Amino acid sequence: MSVTRVRGRFAPTPSGRLHLGNALSALLAWLQIRAESGEMILRLEDLDRARCKPAYAAQLLEDMRWLGLDWEEGPDAGGPWAPYEQSLRSERYEEALGILKREGHLYECFCSRADLLSAASAPHGLASEGAGCAGECRRLTEAQKAERAAKKSPALRFAMPDRAFPFADGIAGTVVFPAGAGGDFVVRRADGVIGYQLAVVVDDIAMRVTDVLRGWDLLDSTPRQLALYEALGAAPPRFAHGPLLLGPDGSRLSKRHGSVSLAELREQGLPAERIVGWLAAASGLIEIATDASPRELVAVWRPERVKREAVRLNEDWLAALMPD
């Protein structure tokens, strides 16, 4: 099937309620695609079975629809590249692992469990993905590997090439991280769970995604993903990273700053248009927060208006999220 239209996706992890920060990424991704009359995919990144719950997934879809966002393909809508839940796509990841292994991109890593546990979730900054292996495992002899494997099953790591992967970001501009930034990363944990970086790339390739717009916390994951595209022989999509929302204290917007989940705001009687207009203003897309539906904002979509830095919201901003 040939793809002529732009295709974007929103790929949330159903491990909690949708909050303003996720809603902003979803809105910006949706606007980018709708402004070009493209197609939107909703993909559930539910690989971390311990954290992801069906109830969160159901709530998430409901919250998105309530906001006025829609998608052509997704767990509810189906589509040509179903399933749209990562937990149901393991054979595709295993297939990609087979290719990477054959081509010599992977090695077994016996580093500690703590390092490897976080790999299934999208990192909020590379540090949160766990310490990289210092590379010792990359150089183990067959005998050393066998000795370690007798005690512990290994994780699989992708060996980052020793060069930079610069890219032109649709919002951030030219982005260059140093060669090997973040180190070799886990593509399959010792317990068999597939790593976020691999799953996201395999799915974006399979689902013919042309444009990825997501939160700034994944900016530094992009070189890793570019290395995976290259290793899998696939053309990468265009990337853009929208701003993170911070509370008045400078930390990521969260419960401690008040009601930040859409479900809560809705329960308090806040109309969806108030939130959408507020998000558009916070991100720099419009100057003054006025109630608006996502549809109404399509005409004002200009990636160059979107802020290139985290948005620190003061108390007035938070207070503006009040029902009439």
Residues annotated catalytic, as ranges: 255
Segment interacting with ligand GLU (CB under 6 A) among 6-14, 66-74, 178-186, 296-304: 6-14
Please tell me whether residue 126 adopts helix, strand or coil conformation: helix
- How many residues interact with ligand GLU (rule CB under 6 A)? 8
Q: Mask: binding to ligand GLU, 133-152, rule CB under 6 A, as x and -?
A: --------------------
Identify how many contiguous H helices and E strands the chain contains and give both numbers: 11, 11
Task: List, edge to edge, every strand of the sheet that includes 173-175.
Answer: 39-42, 7-10, 211-215, 238-242, 167-169, 173-175
Q: For residues 110 and 158, which CB has a smaller minimum distance to ligand GLU in the complex?
A: 158
Could you give the string, one character per residue 90-129, with x where binding to ligand GLU holds by CB under 6 A and - elsewhere? --------------------------------x-------
Query: Which stretch, 11-19, 68-76, 233-241, 291-299, contacts ligand GLU (CB under 6 A)?
Result: 11-19
Can you list the positions of beta strands (E) in the chain? 7-10, 39-42, 106-109, 155-158, 167-169, 173-175, 185-188, 211-215, 238-242, 245-246, 311-312
Binding residue (CB under 6 A) for ligand GLU from 6, 7, 8, 11: 11
Residue from the set 89, 188, 189, 214 that interacts with ligand GLU by CB under 6 A: 214
Q: Which residues are annotated as a binding site for L-glutamate?
A: 9-13, 45, 196, 214
237 lies in the binding site for ligand GLU (CB under 6 A):
no
One of 6, 7, 13, 278 touching ligand GLU (CB under 6 A): 13
Query: Kind and range of the H or E element at 146?
Result: helix 142-149
CA distance 104 to 54: 37
152-211 residues near ligand GLU, rule: CB under 6 A? 200
How far CA 220 is from CA of 103, 111, 192, 214, 278, in Å, comes to: 25, 23, 25, 12, 27
CA–CA dist 42, 262 (Å, integer): 18
Interface with ligand GLU by CB under 6 A: which residues? 11-13, 45, 122, 200, 214, 218
